[in-house]
Structure 1
Amino acid sequence: MKLDMFSEIQDPRPWATEDHEHRRITEAVEQAVLADEFGYDCWWQVEHHGAAEFSLSSAPELLLAALSQRTSRIRLGHAAVLAPAEINHPRRVAERAAWLDQLSGGRVELGLTRSTAPEWRMFGVDPAGARAQTQRAFEEIPRLWTGAGDQPLVPAPLQQPHPPLWQAASSPASFEEAGRRGVGVLGTTLWEPLPRVARLVELYREAVADCAQPAGAFVNDQIAFFTFVHCAETDEEALRSGAAAAAAWYTARALTFFEAADAFVETMTIQQGILADPTGGGLTGAFLRGEVDTAPNAAQLAIGRILQGETVPEDELFEALMAQDSLIVGSPDTCRKKLRAYADAGIDRLMCFQQVGAIPHERVMDSIRRVGELIPEFA
């Protein structure tokens, strides 16, 4: 299992200085340079718009271009480009990624996602067409990279035949979809118990094994998950660093920003349709039928309370997330054990989400070093 880095560039209030945004961006560069030195395999940068303190990463291609000149070996990943054409036209995505591949010496990984309602509204995207536009991006971008388009794309990527393709996924149906497209899958373990993660891994593996016509020129059979990671000298110090508050802050902010209550209803509607499909609903249908009698755990119940507008105490939410092993927080020995559990689940890449909430920069850097020292054990 490779250990990667995952970055949102979070900037929570209260802000101590007027140049707080500049400081956060500078810190992100410093964190990436350190990750490069310690052997992390890839730096994944999100794309979000209008996210305020939740994420400053509105132009990830610019940060990644800067990192291409400050690092030497770490790969540079989009997790992920918002694929609807009103936000990012497929040709522009292909052009920017090709340029980044040239600048970085062939280190690009490109993820795509259809995004969510807040960003659709911002750019005037018709929600009904977002899925089809994402499919178009998966088809058109690799054709442009390989010279199969009507008009040449210059420069072409340095990697041949092209950079690996990925899809962000948050539901069983999207894991199956990524597998059938023959692209890598970018998921999250932050709110998922480990047994369900293992089942999602199996779902993707089954789907990708049947992929005869991948979206790109080759099948990128890889599974990456991101989760909150914070390592300190002892378990107690990791908690004193602000890990509990950071995990709780992120959970509440993410559910609000992504309008998760509405998204949850949409997902349930889609899943009910899959379960009602007289043909069985394919691999996703089988996956969902295996969950019908599964009782929700404490973390899922706490998230449900947040979706209903309730404020869940930080310590209670953190303990619930820790109980389902979805966070990697503690001493190097504790983190080693939790990382091993993910490796045993069959994950190819764990994207370590370390700059979270109000955890101070110096503690983030210390955590990057401590986790980095564990990398050889998993390589």
Structure 2
Amino acid sequence: MQIDLFNEIQNPRPWPAGHEQLRFAQAIEQAVLADGLGYGCWWQVEHHGAGEFSLSSAPELMLAALSQRTSRIRLGHAAVLAPGRFNHPIRVAERAATLDHLSGGRVELGLTRSTIPEWRLFGIEADDARAQTQQAFEMVPKMWTTDRFSYHSDAYQIDDVPISPKPLQRPHPPLWQAAASPKSFEDAGKRGVGVLGTTMWESLERAGRMISLYREAAASCTEPVGAFVNNQVGFFTFVHCADTDEEAMRNGAAAAAAWYTVTALNFFEAAKEFVRTAQVQQQLAEAPDGGGLTGGFLRGEAADPPSEAALLIGRVLQGEKVPDDEIFTVLSAQDSLIVGSPETCLRKLRAYAGLGIDRMMCLQQIGGLAHDKVTRSIQLIGELIPDLDRGPEIVAAQAIS
């Protein structure tokens, strides 16, 4: 399992003078540190109108800056908002290819539909978002691999245009899809692109079943949207490592996890999204044709009682102020978070590796955690990378000898 970094440039209050520039400078420092420690990829989100939750509204510029300050770490979009009112597919292809040249061939490109508040901000209908995301997946790799490009749909009319530059990586950079629901995991597999999910509020057991759903869909993909099937799974979660378990808690891990949970659920208007997703899932579960792999997945868990984390999130969505320690305790109980000493974090990371996750995207700059505590965590997790590369069997054999 490769260890990556996932970054949103979070900017919680209170705000000192120059706070925005400070956050960008800190992110660059963290990326340079990770580059030297052997992290695999730096993943940058795209959000708009996110307030404290994220300053990462122009990830292509942040990644371009990092391309000039780093030498080996890969640079990933997690993910570009794909509907055309966010980012026209031609601009997505051009920017990613340019970044690939600036970075010496280190780009990974993820695409996603986004969610309700950002659709509203840019005047996008939900059905249009789904269709245009599919079209972007079809268009971008073709622009990269053909001399002249044409495409016709309700949204796009493109006739025989030379799109340049072409990426440095051939045939093109790996493609990914950010996903949060079983249907999105199946869609990513059917498209032949890697999937980027989160275990922040999911149990490891359910994450494992989502991975199996994706693997099955990807195994049957014979016509990927790109030139090859990128059969990889990436997951992000909150990671904070300190010299001891007690120090990790003193650093404010519980408050940071709770802040992220409440802020993210509010920003994404998760209560509305839950209703919309539930309707789609019910239709798939009850579909006369079975609803594909997702329909079977949903019927298989229909009788399962709601998890403690699901009940907790429901309380947050109803406006209840749940104590920070309770949020942290519930999420930790299902191993959603990786917090503690190097020994504790290594044990938890190996559990994730056991699920078949290829890329562990460590969200370390989160909430109110102090910058020096974040860089210390990045350092400590970086020191675990050789053990994770070698695997537990090799490490155990060396310990015995």
Q: TM-score normalised to the size of structure 1? A: 0.99
Q: Provide the rounded CA distance (Å) in 2 between the counterparts of 1:299 and 1:258.
A: 18
For residues 154-194 of structure 1, the C-alpha deviation after alignment (integer angstroms, 9 at most, x for no partner) is: 21100000000000000001000000000000000000000
Q: Provide the rounded CA distance (Å) in 1 between the counterparts of 2:121 and 2:7.
A: 22
Q: Provide the rounded CA distance (Å) in 2 between the counterparts of 1:132 and 1:294.
A: 32
1:286 deviates by: 1.2
1:33 aligns with 2:29: no
Q: Provide the rounded CA distance (Å) in 2 between the counterparts of 1:282 and 1:117.
A: 25
Q: Among residues 245, 248, 251, which one is paired with 1:241 in the alignment?
A: 251
Q: Among residues 296, 309, 319, which one is paired with 2:319 in the alignment?
A: 309
Secondary structure at the aligned position of 1:185 is classed as strand
Aligned residue for 1:231?
Answer: 241
Summarize the alignment of residues 361-372 of structure 1 with structure 2, pairs less than 5 Å apart.
Answer: 361-372=371-382
The total of aligned residue pairs comes to: 378
Q: Provide the rounded CA distance (Å) in 2 between the counterparts of 1:239 and 1:128.
A: 43
Aligned residue for 1:211?
Answer: 221
Secondary structure at the aligned position of 1:373 is classed as helix
1:297 deviates by: 2.1
Aligned residue for 2:86?
Answer: 87
Moved over 4 A (4+): none
1:342 aligns with 2:352: yes
Return the letter of the residue paired with 1:18: A
1:299 deviates by: 1.5
Q: Provide the rounded CA distance (Å) in 1 between the counterparts of 2:307 and 2:282.
A: 21
Q: Provide the rounded CA distance (Å) in 2 between the counterparts of 1:349 and 1:293.
A: 31
Aligned residue for 1:355?
Answer: 365
Summarize the alignment of residues 39-188 of structure 1 with structure 2, pairs less than 5 Å apart.
Answer: 39-147=38-146, 149=149, 150-188=160-198
For residues 47-89 of structure 1, the C-alpha deviation after alignment (integer angstroms, 9 at most, x for no partner) is: 0001011000000000000000000000000000000001100
Task: Indicate the larger mover: 46-55 or 140-149.
Answer: 140-149
Q: Provide the rounded CA distance (Å) in 2 between the counterparts of 1:270 and 1:125.
A: 19
Q: Among residues 319, 323, 335, which one is paired with 2:329 in the alignment?
A: 319
1:127 deviates by: 2.0
Q: Provide the rounded CA distance (Å) in 2 between the counterparts of 1:104 and 1:356.
A: 26
Q: Provide the rounded CA distance (Å) in 2 between the counterparts of 1:285 and 1:297.
A: 20
Secondary structure at the aligned position of 1:374 is classed as helix
Q: Provide the rounded CA distance (Å) in 2 between the counterparts of 1:291 and 1:154.
A: 47
For residues 201-239 of structure 1, the C-alpha deviation after alignment (integer angstroms, 9 at most, x for no partner) is: 100000000000001010000000000000000000000
Q: Provide the rounded CA distance (Å) in 2 between the counterparts of 1:153 and 1:68.
A: 22
- For the aligned residue pairs, the C-alpha RMSD in angstroms reads 0.7
Summarize the alignment of residues 244-263 of structure 1 with structure 2, pairs less than 5 Å apart.
Answer: 244-263=254-273
Secondary structure at the aligned position of 1:98 is classed as helix
1:128 deviates by: 2.2
For residues 325-353 of structure 1, the C-alpha deviation after alignment (integer angstroms, 9 at most, x for no partner) is: 00000000000000000000110000000
Aligned residue for 1:285?
Answer: 295
Q: Give the gaps of 5 or more residues in structure 2.
A: 150-159, 390-401
1:126 deviates by: 2.0
